Amino acid sequence: MPRLAFRLYAATFFTYLLLPLGILAAATFNASSFPTISPWLGTTTKWLEALFTDAEMGRALLSSLMIAAGVIAISLPVGTAAALVLTSLNGRARSFLYALMVSPLLTPGVVIGISTLLFWRRIGVGGGLALSILAQSSFIISFVMLMVAARLQRFDRTMEDAALGLGASRLLVFRRILLPYLRPSLWAAAGIAFLQSFENYNTTLFVRGVETPLTIFVASKVRAGLTPAVNALGLVMMVLAVAGAVAVEIARRRRSAAKAQA
């Protein structure tokens, strides 16, 4: 009986989770000019074609990718440095730094966007890609710090002490011991930073200037009236996400197999 109840719960959970995605994918191939699966007016690929030939959407996607790349370039080193400092402190200093670094996660994105815009406008910097990168980095750094710090909690400090005792410099210890150990968390943090930046709306809305990232573009399409091309965009993003997850899992299994053979 418990096993049957668990299976029913799992089936209900995954149906609730995946059914909207399935409807979205199906609506992409409906010939209807409205994003729906009922009534079904025939199968077509014109909405996928419209997606890939939409120059405005292409520019919006490029803007989002450029912002995400800039956010990763800032968040990874700063977040890693903050994690290194955090794990080296004790007592009140550690608690203070932790609270300071985590506070942006508790701040509404609207507040971050408005405050960033007002601050930089005072020194003559207007909205745009650069300001979007700075605004998003101000809270995405916290995600990186938390992920790297969690990895550092399990680091064996005796390895670092042994290397220093044998005459290695701090830089060499970081490059040859600490950085390889942190590599999995850095890759994961980069992925989280990319996703957080790519899907951000509230903060970006206030600091984008004349730029139109993808989230802003899609929101404007929703206000103007949805077309199945937006469904096509969602389908493409789902396929890319699944392909990325499969690629990561295959790479992980290959590394595990290589370690087992070694």
Residue 1 scores a pLDDT above 70: no
Percent of the chain whose pLDDT exceeds 70? 98
Is pLDDT of 82 > 60? yes
Contact, 97 vs 207, CB < 8 A? no
Cα 120-102-201 angle, rounded to 5 deg: 55
- On whether the CB atoms of residues 216 and 60 are closer than 8 A, the answer is yes
Q: State pTM to two decimals.
A: 0.83
Residue 171 has what DSSP assignment? H
Per-residue pLDDT band at 72 (split at 50, 70, 90): very high
pLDDT at 194 over 80: yes
Lowest mean pLDDT among 38-42, 65-69, 86-90, 131-135: 38-42
Does 142 have pLDDT greater than 90? yes
For the chain, state the CA radius of gyration. Answer: 23
| pLDDT tens string 22-36 | 888 888 888 877 777
Neighbours of 26 (CB within 10 A): 15
